[in-house]
Amino acid sequence: MDKTLVRVNTGRLYVRWRFARREASWREVARATRWLAQYALGIVDPAEITEKALATLEGVSEEAFTRELEGWYAEHVRPHVSTDARREVERRRREGYRLVVLTASTPYAAGPLARELDIETVLASELEVVDGRFTGRCAQLAYGAGKVSMAEAWAAREGVDLEESVFYTDSVSDVPMLERVGGPFVVNPDVRLAWRARRSGWPVSHWR
C-alpha cells in the first residue's frame, strides 16, 4: 500500500494527524518516526513494535475507530493516491486479474483505499477485538513471512495460483513475497530493495 498505491508512508501521515489533534506527544511522534525508519531499512522487530503501537488502542471501540479512519483517509490519504497506481490497477483489471491489497497495515487504514480503487479484497494485519473493542493485541501480523502465509491461505481458499500472480512493493521486508509470486514488481524501492532487485533482475518502476 505505502509508496505503491499511495505515494507516501501512511504511518507518518497517521502519526502527524494524531499529533495535530493533540492525541500524541512529541515523544510518541519521535518513537514512531524511529520505528518507521527501521521498517524502511528492514531492521525492525515487527512483533515488538506492533505490540507497543497497539497498546494505545486497548479499550477503543472498533466501530468508532473505523469511522475515525475513514475521515482520516478522506482528508489526509486520498490526495496522495498515486496516479500511476490507478492506471496499473485498471490495466490489471482489464486483463482479468483479481485485485487484492496485501499490506502490513490494518484493514481500517487500507479499507477506504481499496474501496476507492474498487478492489474488493484486503489482506492486512488483523487486530484482536473482544466485545467490539480492541484488546491492544495483534491477531495476525502481515509482515515478511507472515504476509506470505496470509497470501497463501487466501490463494488456497480462492483457487488462485501465486505462480501466475504479480505482487508490487517498495520494501525489502517483502522479499519473501516477491520470491513467492511469478511476477515480482518493485515500485519506489528503499535502498536495500533496489539493490536486491538489481541482483535478482526484478523490474523496477517509479510511480507518482
> How is the chain split into domains, by residue range?
10-161
CATH number of this structure's domain 10-161: 3.40.50.1000
pLDDT-based confidence at 131, cuts 50/70/90? very high
Contact in structure between 199 and 178 (CB atoms under 8 Å): no
Nearest to 68 by CA among 58, 79, 60: 60
Length of the chain: 208
Q: What is the mean pLDDT of residues 94-120?
A: 97
What digits encode the pLDDT tens for the residues 32-62?
677 666 666 666 666 777 777 788 899 999 9
2-27 burial, b if ≥16 CB within 10 A, otherwise e?
A: bbbbbbebbbebbbebbeeeeebeee
